[in-house]
């Protein structure tokens, strides 16, 4: 009846895991992304959410303090947890920290916690561009996790702590789609136009007076981030040096009155002619380590290609996939102006695949690789 | 207080016009575009709205039959008019017909009326691509009106009737902006992504269940129309033959939950490097015959360039201009991926400049040129 | 993770049912309510959806013909079914017919099918007020099913067919809440103001041009229906005669830009003073035969009372309950102007509890009582 | 063309005023209500906006500092003004202060300025319920201005300063409608349900994540304010004592996704039977001192009664009236449950009639009565 496949798959996997769960702290637990973490970590086979941290409500019960904005209710076991401060000693009893902090707060706190021996998986932008910090999409650049060794050595973090980051929510959907498209043939230019949901800016980020019956053709710093981060994600490791992928790329970001799900209209110009069918095939068959390792939060298909003429649509398709919200949905794959250009529309759930879900999948990959 | 400049300018012009007004019939008078015509023709200095035609409510008072959806109220003089059928004899007592008919209905009716000696200005797509029919944006290709002579001769319309068409509402804003951009330097490719208002599909066109909290990445036939019509509009007359402007152009059309105002994100790739400032200047200083002739419905500036980082926005800017809704607003003019690409966002009011207002301005130009 | 409880409960019940399933036909299967039926009948323990009927797409595969507007995808087994016409012989091979037909179509078809021996459970308004037809909310007036005997006798339907109806979607939520409130003490007047979702009018019912950034203070025939049907539902059977409950009741219906979930602001004036706590208690502990019989689609609590100051909210709470969408959510229970008035806000999912879910629960109750 | 009548009427009145204009300071000038003041005071015949005060942007040009959210552009003369602080000496060079401050800020500042000899017209709630402060709707209780004398005497304000307040934006529309309804016959109870626009909470008040595709059945403190203030406004002066009008009144406040315009569904129970026509007539013919004095911001009809079955609607009707936004629109006047109850829907523009416009009209009335 109600979206069962994701959980069904998950449950069957649960039974194969017998090792002790990893204790986890969650920074920024009451925000809209924090809520997605709480939901997705509930009954997780590897991770046990033990500490919830939020600046504004230290000492209160999570269930009371949170303004729950997503489907369903606060999981019972989390509702009863007391909210801790960022300086709480109990964070140190965890091995893994998920950080959904604002960027300024993240800069100092994440470095401190990593230095104290914790593995920090962060979706804040603070450390994304540090040259010794992986910026990870598990299906796209899992090998970049090797930067963790460099990081520990350079920063003298001997207790085993490190920072791993996940990309900007708009870059995630784009780069998951570019990865298989770049395999088809050499690309000469990329043009992206986004139509982004309000949840991307956080609960207070977009006042209703701004966005009701309106479009705002601007998202602060977003266009620069998408280009810069894509270069890093799609780049390759040469030894311990990450060589960015330089691709002519032009991005226009717009905010539209949707709640969740970033739509992106993408044109890819190839250096030579390509077949649209080859692009569709490369997208539809794309998979990566998470699928091979059957990680709990990995969708059966990272990219779902739709053939209807009017899909994807944010409200109808953002929860697509065997793990709802973890698949990028691509539709309207078609010719651009000539035989060397291809156009399409993609949809990616910005607070699931683009935030909490992407970070959890990253941590699952790290777990599978024995990083903690 | 309330948007006065447009009317103030208009009123001062009225006094210079002393000739008798031209009687006008309006086909499709009760629809959402029809309502814009009724509003804009009220107290018009050249035209006298004499016959209102609508399929569904023949014989009823206009004020009763119409479901008025735009600001203000039905003008008193029109409210009292009886709605006529498309076959009414009284249409023939007019010289000029504005047609806001659906395309299938337009095909036959417009040809018949033109054959009977009436000048038909139509925004239906039926005749737009006929090679002897002008497809007009008054500021962009006023010389294409010369096709009217060819048309009359070919079709044997000796009583002086003819058909002149106005473009698809998405093409209007785009081509008004491309015209000055093409003057800066030779262009090698154009990428357009639209975010279109629901009124573009007519009153019943977009069910709320489709579009509330959603984006639909598809507008039927729109992408093809925009490309095809732009080629014609931006083409040049060689003798009596219109040579289309072939430009590599890729268009993605999306419907968003706004009421009026089509947003378009545009990337222009030039063959050589250009300065962004040169593009801004060409846009901001663009004007055409309507401005030179000081036509009543012509805005002082066909293109208004905004410098704020988050404009234009549909709800705030669609009524921009000295004649509200007749100016295209352009913002965020900036570099794309290199020195030969420029990006920007444009906004055009789809039922004013993109429909009723564009057609009225076209008829004013024809009037000034003595075509009826 | 994603709304599991409803299904979990349902699954455990499934195993206790060993009898053969009842074949079911669904009339109006492609509409927005039809889709809810398809979803809720998928893997149903009593009913086997065998025939899908829709006027517009006879002969096509359901999965192709339907414009699926709700969460998830078309269940595989239904996607492959061929759509049948209302006159198809295969309907007669079913025992039970769910009718989500428009009212005019329902009038004739439902009578014919009942006459041919089928049990028809209809949410159309056509037969609701017939004096020998039950108008049922399973928790509120299950005894009204006794009218079925009168109906068969009167109409000479000896093959066992009959018509049972479910109420208008706005009346459902209201009367589920009034039932326990009427038990607290005698009531002297009721004032209701609704804020109704667009899905209540069907897929094409509310154009986006009407409702975006707007409220429409009118829903055709709705206020009359709510009063009239409430009188019948809350009435009592005296022998075979239904005596309506006459209560002074004033209803104002409004359409607001929400997708699903009818909100109703209710004031109840009692003849004497009451305690708010008594009303809360009566609401929160309310249950009926479906709960006692543990019917598959019955929620653990028909009414969920919330204590937060700003709930219920349609988007957050419409899927409340152990069977999502089957519980009415009540909040802000508080004093009105004096000790004899109580105010509250209720939310009821209009296409689940107010349509498909309510009808399925009704059929489950009929099944439990051996009516087919 | 575009909403001309209001200004046209205003212009003709301007010419009859020959006295020197009153210098005015505006507190809270950059907020959404502040913007309405700026718009409505532009070219005002009595008042000259001389000082704009805002906490956040002292020293900057108004045109730069303001995020202009309403139709049109910042009037040129105001765009160039420097924003002053609340402690600026230049405020004292004005005679009249309009205060659109938040309530806490207003409490102290307004008292101080009145003590320094300025006439303060405030829409903050801080002083509304002070027993020596008028709470004014110019058409409803103009005589309450007599409280100003009491206030000055009591507080020892000999320089002529005083505070006059305007009501909560929801109370304004309600009490303008109740005033004529109370004249028809004695009333026994009133039930109100509101559907309020987001601008009522200020620019940042309602996050889009809260209200998109949703209704919030709660507006903080609003229900209490509406009842309390209505009692005062509809009360009568006995000597210098204001005797509140005690009416059983129950209010439910809801926030809906509209930008401007508060809708209110109202039921009035009379002690005896009334004719609906008498209520309509009393509403439609209602007028007060502003109309008799032909004050510049007074609409020709304070209440406009509509006869269509689906009006008023916020988006279509909020700018109703000869001075746009200053008329309350009433529709669907009809029977409730019996001959002694009447129901209707009203719409009042919350930032025009319910805020800036109401305050300006109040000041015009005070001016006409020689209060400064």
Q: Which residues of A are less than 8 Å from B256 in CB distance? A: 195, 215, 256-257
- Look at residues C43, C24, C29 and name the one whose alpha carbon lies nearest to residue C83: C29
List pLDDT tens digits, range D103-153.
788 889 999 999 999 999 999 999 999 999 999 999 999 999 999 999 999
Q: Kindly report the nearest CA distance between residue D296 and chain C, in angstroms.
A: 30
Map residue A24 onto helix, strand or coil: strand
Say if residues B70 and B32 touch (Cβ distance below 8 Å): yes
Task: Please report the pLDDT score of residue D336 as a whole number.
Answer: 95
Pick from C1, C39, C212: CB nearest A1? C39
Crossing angle for the helix pair C169-184 and C276-284, to the nearest 10 degrees: 120
Q: What is the DSSP string of D2-41?
A: -S-HHHHHHHHHHTT--SPPEEEEEESTTSHHHHHHHHHH
Task: Please report the pLDDT score of residue B16 as a whole number.
Answer: 46
Mean pLDDT estimate for chain B: 93
Question: Looking at chain C, which subunits does it touch, using at least 3 CB pairs closer than 8 Å as the criterion?
Answer: A, B, D
State how far the Cα of B222 lies from the Cα of B253, in Å rounded to an integer.
Answer: 7
State how far the Cα of B306 lies from the Cα of B297, in Å rounded to an integer.
Answer: 22
pTM above 0.90, yes or no: yes
List pLDDT tens digits, range B64-79.
999 998 878 899 999 9
Q: Which residues of D are less than 8 Å from A257 in CB distance? A: 208, 212
- Look at residues B359, B336, B332 and name the one whose alpha carbon lies nearest to residue B119: B359
Output the CA torsion sign for B117, B119, B125, B128. positive
List pLDDT tens digits, range B195-241.
999 999 999 999 999 999 999 999 999 999 999 999 999 999 999 99
Helix and strand element counts for chain D (H, E)? 13, 14
Pick from D217, D331, D337: CB nearest C250? D337
Q: Is the CB of residue B195 less than 8 Å away from at least one CB of chain A?
A: yes
- Buried b or exposed e, range C19-38, using 16+ CB within 10 angstroms: eeebbbbbbbbbbbbbbbbb
Task: Please report the pLDDT score of residue C72 as a whole number.
Answer: 80
Task: Please report the pLDDT score of residue A2 as a whole number.
Answer: 32
List pLDDT tens digits, range B138-183.
999 999 999 999 999 999 998 889 999 999 999 999 999 999 999 9
- Look at residues C185, C176, C335 and name the one whose alpha carbon lies nearest to residue C264: C176
Q: Kindly report the nearest CA distance between residue C250 and chain B, in angstroms.
A: 28
Arithmetic mean of pLDDT, C141-166: 95
- Look at residues A214, D212, C69 and name the one whose alpha carbon lies nearest to residue B198: A214
Pick from D10, D71, D316: CB nearest B3? D71
Do the interacting molecules here have an ipTM over 0.85? Answer: yes
Arithmetic mean of pLDDT, D165-186: 98
Q: What is the pLDDT along chain A (372 residues), one digit of tens a residue?
A: 333 333 334 444 444 445 689 999 999 999 989 999 999 999 999 999 999 999 988 999 999 999 998 878 899 999 999 999 999 999 999 999 999 988 788 889 999 999 999 999 999 999 999 999 999 999 999 999 999 999 999 999 988 899 999 999 999 999 999 999 999 999 999 999 999 999 999 999 999 999 999 999 999 999 999 999 999 999 999 999 999 999 999 999 999 999 999 999 999 999 999 999 999 999 999 999 999 999 999 999 999 999 999 999 999 999 999 999 999 999 999 999 989 999 999 999 999 999 999 999 999 999 999 998
Map residue B268 onto helix, strand or coil: strand
Map residue B248 onto helix, strand or coil: coil
Local structure of residue A87 (DSSP, 8 states): T
Give catalytic status of residue C253 as yes or no: no
Tokens describing residue D285: 């013919």
**Cα D181–chain centre separation:** 20
Which residue is it, tokens 């490369």? A282
Task: Please report the pLDDT score of residue A4 as a whole number.
Answer: 34
- Residues contacting residue B68 through CB under 8 Å, at least 6 positions apart: B35, B74, D316
State how far the Cα of B215 lies from the Cα of A263, in Å rounded to an integer.
Answer: 8
H helix or E strand, kind and range, residue A263 = strand A262-270
- Geometric angle at alpha carbon A195, from A189 and A196, rounded to 5°: 115
- Cα first-last separation, chain D: 38
Task: Please report the pLDDT score of residue D5 as a whole number.
Answer: 37
Arithmetic mean of pLDDT, C132-161: 95
- Buried b or exposed e, range C251-289, using 16+ CB within 10 angstroms: bbbbbbbbbbbbbbbbbbbbeeebeeeebbebbeebebb
Pick from B214, B216, B248: CB nearest A337? B248
Q: Kindly report the nearest CA distance between residue B210 and chain A, in angstroms.
A: 9
Contact D3 B6 (CB under 8 A): no
Q: Kindly report the nearest CA distance between residue B258 and chain C, in angstroms.
A: 8
- Buried b or exposed e, range D280-297, using 16+ CB within 10 angstroms: bebbeebebbbbebebbb
Tokens describing residue A208: 């209703």
Q: Kindly report the nearest CA distance between residue D46 and chain C, in angstroms.
A: 35
Res. C118: pLDDT tops 50: yes
Output the CA torsion sign for A37, A43, A44, A50. positive
Between the CA of residue D72 and those of B112, B264, D320, what are the distances in Å? 43, 22, 18
Pairing of β D341-348 and β D262-270: antiparallel
Task: Please report the pLDDT score of residue B289 as a whole number.
Answer: 98
Res. D7: pLDDT tops 70: no
Task: Please report the pLDDT score of residue C19 as a whole number.
Answer: 66
Would you place residue D19 in the very low, low, confident or very high pLDDT band (cuts 50, 70, 90)?
low
| Length reported for chain D | 372
Arithmetic mean of pLDDT, B243-265: 97
Q: Best residue in D202, D207, D211 to probe A by mutation, most A CBs within 10 Å?
A: D207
Pick from B6, B68, B213: CB nearest D1? B6
Res. C79: pLDDT tops 50: yes
Q: E-assigned strands of chain D?
A: 22-27, 47-53, 83-84, 96-99, 119-122, 162-165, 187-195, 236-238, 241-243, 249-252, 262-270, 303-305, 328-335, 341-348
Looking at the DSSP bridge assignments, the partners of residue A264 are A194, A346
Would you place residue C32 in the very low, low, confident or very high pLDDT band (cuts 50, 70, 90)?
confident
Task: Please report the pLDDT score of residue D105 as a whole number.
Answer: 83
State how far the Cα of D97 lies from the Cα of D99, in Å rounded to an integer.
Answer: 6
List pLDDT tens digits, range D324-357.
999 999 999 999 998 999 999 999 999 999 999 9
User: When comparing pLDDT for B372 and B45, which is higher?
Assistant: B45
List pLDDT tens digits, range C286-331.
999 999 999 999 999 999 999 999 999 999 999 999 999 999 999 9
Map residue D257 onto helix, strand or coil: coil
Output the CA torsion sign for B155, B159, B161, B162. positive
Would you place residue C27 in the very low, low, confident or very high pLDDT band (cuts 50, 70, 90)?
very high
Residue ranges of domains in chain D, CATH in brackets: 7-168+356-368 (3.40.50.720), 169-349 (3.30.360.10)
Between the CA of residue B55 and those of B31, B120, B194, C207, what are the distances in Å? 10, 18, 32, 20
Which region among A132-136, C3-7, C213-217 has the lowest average model confidence (pLDDT)? C3-7
Between the CA of residue C307 and those of C287, C369, D271, what are the distances in Å? 19, 36, 35
User: Between residues 303 and 332 of chain C, which touch chain A (CB distance below 8 Å)?
Assistant: 316, 319, 324
Task: Please report the pLDDT score of residue A142 as a whole number.
Answer: 98
Res. C13: pLDDT tops 80: no
Res. C55: pLDDT tops 50: yes
Q: Which position among C262, C279, C349, C367 bears the catalytic label?
A: C262
Task: Please report the pLDDT score of residue B19 as a whole number.
Answer: 66
Pairing of β B262-270 and β B341-348: antiparallel
Looking at the DSSP bridge assignments, the partners of residue C12 are none
Would you place residue D12 in the very low, low, confident or very high pLDDT band (cuts 50, 70, 90)?
very low
- Look at residues B210, B69, D328, A314 and name the one whose alpha carbon lies nearest to residue C257: B210
Tokens describing residue B128: 């737009």
Res. B8: pLDDT tops 50: no
Q: Which position among C94, C169, C253, C279 bears the catalytic label?
A: C169
- Look at residues A165, A18, A154, A161 and name the one whose alpha carbon lies nearest to residue A91: A161
Q: Which position among D94, D169, D253, D279 bears the catalytic label?
A: D169
3-state DSSP helix/strand/coil percent for chain C, to nearest 5? 35, 20, 45
The chain C residue lying nearest D248, using CA atoms, is C337
Q: Which residues of A are less than 8 Å from C4 in CB distance? A: 7
Give catalytic status of residue B253 as yes or no: no
Looking at the DSSP bridge assignments, the partners of residue A195 are A254, A263
State how far the Cα of D129 lies from the Cα of D118, in Å rounded to an integer.
Answer: 20
Determine if the peptide bond prior to A240 is cis (ω within 30°). Answer: no
Q: Give percent of chain D above pLDDT 70.
A: 95
Say if residues C274 and C343 touch (Cβ distance below 8 Å): no
Res. B6: pLDDT tops 70: no
Q: What is the DSSP string of D197-251?
A: -GGGG-TTTSBHHHHTT--B---TTHHHHHHHHHHHHT-EEETTEEE-----EEE
- Cα first-last separation, chain C: 38
Res. C10: pLDDT tops 50: no
Output the CA torsion sign for B311, B316, B321, B327. positive
Pairing of β D236-238 and β D187-195: unpaired
């Amino acid at each position: 009846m109600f979206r069962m496949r994701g959980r069904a798959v998950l449950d069957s996997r649960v039974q194969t895991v017998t090792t002790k769960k990893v204790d986890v702290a969650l920074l920024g637990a009451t925000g809209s992304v924090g809520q997605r973490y709480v939901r997705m970590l509930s009954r997780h086979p590897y991770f046990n959410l033990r500490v919830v941290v939020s600046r504004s409500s230290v000492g209160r019960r999570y269930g009371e303090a949170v303004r729950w904005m997503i489907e369903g209710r606060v999981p019972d076991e989390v509702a009863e947890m007391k909210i801790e401060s960022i300086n709480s000693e109990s964070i140190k009893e965890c091995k893994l920290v998920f950080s959904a902090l604002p960027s300024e707060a993240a800069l100092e706190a994440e470095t401190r916690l990593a230095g104290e021996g914790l593995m920090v998986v962060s979706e804040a932008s603070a450390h994304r561009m540090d040259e010794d910090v992986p910026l990870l999409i598990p299906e796209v650049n899992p090998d970049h996790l090797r930067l963790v060794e460099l990081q520990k050595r350079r920063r003298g973090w001997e207790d085993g702590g490190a920072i791993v980051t996940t990309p900007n929510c708009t870059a995630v959907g784009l780069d998951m789609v570019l990865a298989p498209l770049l395999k088809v043939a050499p690309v000469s230019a990329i043009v992206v136009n986004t139509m982004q949901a309000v949840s991307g800016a956080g609960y207070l980020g977009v006042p209703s007076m701004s966005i009701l019956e309106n479009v705002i053709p601007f998202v602060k710093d977003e266009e620069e981030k998408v280009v810069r981060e894509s270069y890093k994600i799609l780049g390759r490791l040469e030894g311990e040096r990450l060589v960015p992928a330089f691709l002519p790329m032009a991005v226009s970001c717009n905010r539209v009155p949707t709640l969740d799900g970033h739509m992106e209209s993408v044109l890819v110009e190839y250096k030579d002619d390509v077949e649209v069918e080859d692009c569709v095939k490369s997208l539809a068959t794309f998979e990566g380590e998470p699928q091979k390792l059957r990680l709990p939060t990995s969708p059966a298909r990272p990219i779902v290609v739709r053939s209807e003429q009017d899909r994807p649509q944010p409200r109808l398709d953002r929860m697509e996939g065997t793990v709802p919200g973890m698949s990028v949905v691509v539709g309207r794959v078609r010719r651009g102006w000539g035989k060397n250009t291809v156009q399409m529309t993609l949809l990616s759930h910005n607070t699931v695949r683009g935030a909490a879900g992407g970070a959890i999948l990253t941590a699952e990959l790290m777990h599978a690789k024995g990083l903690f």
